[in-house]
Chain A
Amino acid sequence: QVQLVQSGAEVKKPGASVKVSCKASGYTFTSQGISWLRQAPGQGLEWLGWISTHNGQPNYAQNLQGRVTMTTATSTSTAYMELRSLRSDDTAVYYCARTIIGGGIFLDYWGQGTLVTVSS
């Protein structure tokens, strides 16, 4: 069965960076992309971008351009999302999700989420 397992919760100070991992299993990693999303406490879903696991090409949402980097390691079927220059409003649960392309994009399997807390 398809599974996406994310790394554990993080607590960071403002200005620091965080890197979240997402290990995929149960399917061919390079056959589908990976999106990253976040959900601030009590809020809705915000898409951060997606990365092609086939060629490593990322596509970032405009609001985070320059602060986010998405990468993959095909040898370990793992995707990574790094967010720099953290601010308090980056506090959220971060999700990875398998990304289906075709008639747009949708997300058919999700990781369990990683809570990132930014606090001084």
Chain B
Amino acid sequence: SYELTQPLSVSVALGQTARITCGGYNIGSKNVHWYQQKPGQPPVLVIYRDTNRPSGIPERFSGSNSGNTATLTISRTQAGDEADYFCQVWDSITVVFGAGTKLTVL
């Protein structure tokens, strides 16, 4: 079965750029989607099909995908960006999630 690898945690200073990676074999050939989840809340889609932002998601959120790594980039990080972030792909017959990355804003 297909596996996605995310770092357990990422820390970033307030106002700086955070990068959260999602590794998978030849993931560049798949569409990658990213979700933000704050404690006690359902996930929110922040990036779909590698690079697209849903309406209402700030331009500070961007995505890229190539080779074996997809990346979610959060520019000018704010305190409110502190959350868990999950990457997701579709693999043949199933939805696959990464285990999630906890973003801490210092």
Q: Which residues of A come within 8 Å of B, CB atoms?
A: 35, 37, 44-47, 50, 59, 61-62, 95, 100, 103-113
Nearest first, the 4 A-B pairs at minimum CB distance are: A104-B90, A47-B95, A110-B42, A106-B33
Q: Which residues of B come within 8 Å of A, CB atoms?
A: 30-31, 33, 35, 42-45, 48-49, 54, 86, 88-90, 93-100
Cβ–Cβ < 8 Å partners of A109 in chain B? 45
Q: A45-B97, A47-B95 are in contact. Are A104 and B89 (CB under 8 A)?
A: yes
- Tell me the minimal C-beta distance from A109 to chain B in angstroms: 8
Asked if A61 contacts B33 (CB within 8 A), the reply is no
Chain A interface, DSSP helix/strand/loop, else mixed? strand
Asked if B45 contacts A106 (CB within 8 A), the reply is yes
Asked if A95 contacts B49 (CB within 8 A), the reply is no
- Tell me the minimal C-beta distance from B93 to chain A in angstroms: 7
Cβ–Cβ < 8 Å partners of A111 in chain B? 42
